[in-house]
Amino acid sequence: MKKFAKQVIFYSALLGIWVLVAKLRIWPPYLFPPPWGVGHALWDGFADHSFWIGIAVTMKRMLIGYSLSVVLGMILGLAVSSNKFLEETLGGLLVSLQSLPSICWIPLAVLWFGLTEKAILFVVLMGSLLSVTIAMEDGRKQMPKIYGMAGRNLGASGFHLFWSVLLPASLPFIVNGMKQGWAFAWRSLIQAEMIFLSLGLGQLLMMGRDLSDMSQVMAVMILIIILGYAVDGLIFRTMERRLQEKYGLTPA
């Protein structure tokens, strides 16, 4: 409760400064709107359905692109971690590719797929696939070897060993990889949407710029923050916390 009180004070102060600066009119309102201007833009956006559509379109892409990258990333991560040759060759390439910001894939995506849905999904995929793969690979390596041995010792082999031992043993690492993958996918998608004519939140952001409507820009930014945070904070962190409790990983 004390933490909550601190947060209330902090955000009230932030809002207060915002109001103050806006009131001082250092910049014209269309460049620096007051909080109620942004609130108005949010209201209008939802009222004329453009924000609803934007959220729906963006989340749909997110779901497809992200699911694809989780599935492919897990397969790739498993392959790389269980094969010495792949680990020494492909593993290194993946790590080096991860230093490439996902926005760098856009020119390639446009040339290959045109200004289409596929191009956006491709960028999302490239943005999050690598981090999921690397997290999976790391997880397999960090997973204590004792579990596999104990499983084999108790008569598990083949699919049973994978399903009943190796998979649950690496679950904390998998969830971590999924979380990272989500964060990367989210960033990549918004970036890609800003460049394509795409109906998504990214495009709404750019539309605000084209109309010199700072209220809309900030309204969309707030939406992006809230959505991204909600999934990360509510879904992944809860999953992580539950898992850590169950596995006894939480510091006592």
Residues contributing to the site for other proteins (CB under 8 A): 144, 146-147, 149-150, 152-157, 160, 164-165, 168-169, 171, 246-248
**Closer CB to other proteins, 7 or 157, in the complex:** 157
**Closer CB to other proteins, 18 or 162, in the complex:** 162
Which of 58, 55, 50, 61 lies closest to 207 in space, CA to CA?
50
To other proteins, the closest distance from the beta carbon of 85 in angstroms equals 19
To other proteins, the closest distance from the beta carbon of 139 in angstroms equals 14
Q: Report d(CA 113, CA 106) in Å as an integer.
A: 10
To other proteins, the closest distance from the beta carbon of 150 in angstroms equals 3
Which of 234, 233, 239 lies closest to 172 in space, CA to CA?
239
Query: Can you give the length of the chain in residues?
Result: 252
Q: Report d(CA 69, CA 63) in Å as an integer.
A: 10
Residue with tokens 């806006």: 22
Judged by DSSP in three states, 251 sits in coil
**Closer CB to other proteins, 165 or 178, in the complex:** 165
**Closer CB to other proteins, 132 or 143, in the complex:** 143
To other proteins, the closest distance from the beta carbon of 108 in angstroms equals 41
**Closer CB to other proteins, 168 or 228, in the complex:** 168
- Cα distance from N-terminal residue to C-terminal residue, the chain: 21
